Amino acid sequence: MSGANVSLIVAIAGVGGTLASAVITQVLAQRAESRRLDREQQLRAEEQRASESQHKINQLRTCYVQLNAHDRQYRDAMLAYAYAFKSGSADAEAAEVSTARRAQRDTRAEAQLVASDAVLAAESGVNDRLTTAYRYLMNVADESDPSTRRAKISQLIGLLDSIIPQQGRVRALMRLEVHASEELPAWFDSDSQLSTHGRVDADVHG
């Protein structure tokens, strides 16, 4: 083989190597860019999911704060009304009960759209007793016999006091769902509200 041919082959090989190197470099660069874009897309998706999750938690927190507050205010207003009967006029307390009842009802309507099934189930037990207490409170207000009224007031106060542990269980579930606590407290017993509900109502109406 002549020297010219050898030089030509070497030149061709050099050009081919240069072209191949450029192609390989481009392919590697494209793959690196593709991986970078995939990572960015994955991060954006994770950030979006985290944002949506936080938005839901914030929504639940707002709802639960209102529901917890209005359940308590409704109970406290009825308790104040019951004690006012013992000392005489209860007109101011009656107005407070009416206001608290409306606020609690509106808040429950909102909660039924966003709250979890577990919270709704537990809070329904609280609401059942609040509703029973309200009906009984109206019965007490219509009672004309002082002795009978005092007895009914004592029963009503007992019913209202029995709501406090139920409200504590509802709050424990709420705190868990909004990540204010990592687990339910040791005293939590989801069955206790079911076991005492019927007995208390029976005592009140008996």
Between CA 26 and CA 125 the distance in angstroms is: 67
What are the domain boundaries of the chain?
A: 55-205
Both tokens of 144, joined, read: 């004309």
Distance CA 133, CA 17 (A): 91
Cα–Cα distance, 118 to 124 (Å, whole number): 10
pLDDT in single tens digits along all 206 residues of the chain: 555 555 555 556 566 667 677 777 877 777 887 887 778 778 777 777 777 777 888 999 999 999 999 999 999 999 999 888 777 777 778 899 999 999 999 999 999 999 999 999 999 999 999 999 999 998 888 888 888 888 989 999 999 999 999 999 999 999 999 999 989 998 886 555 443 444 444 344 44
> Could you give the CA distance from residue 160 to residue 78 in angstroms, rounded to a whole number?
8
> Model-level pTM greater than 0.85?
no
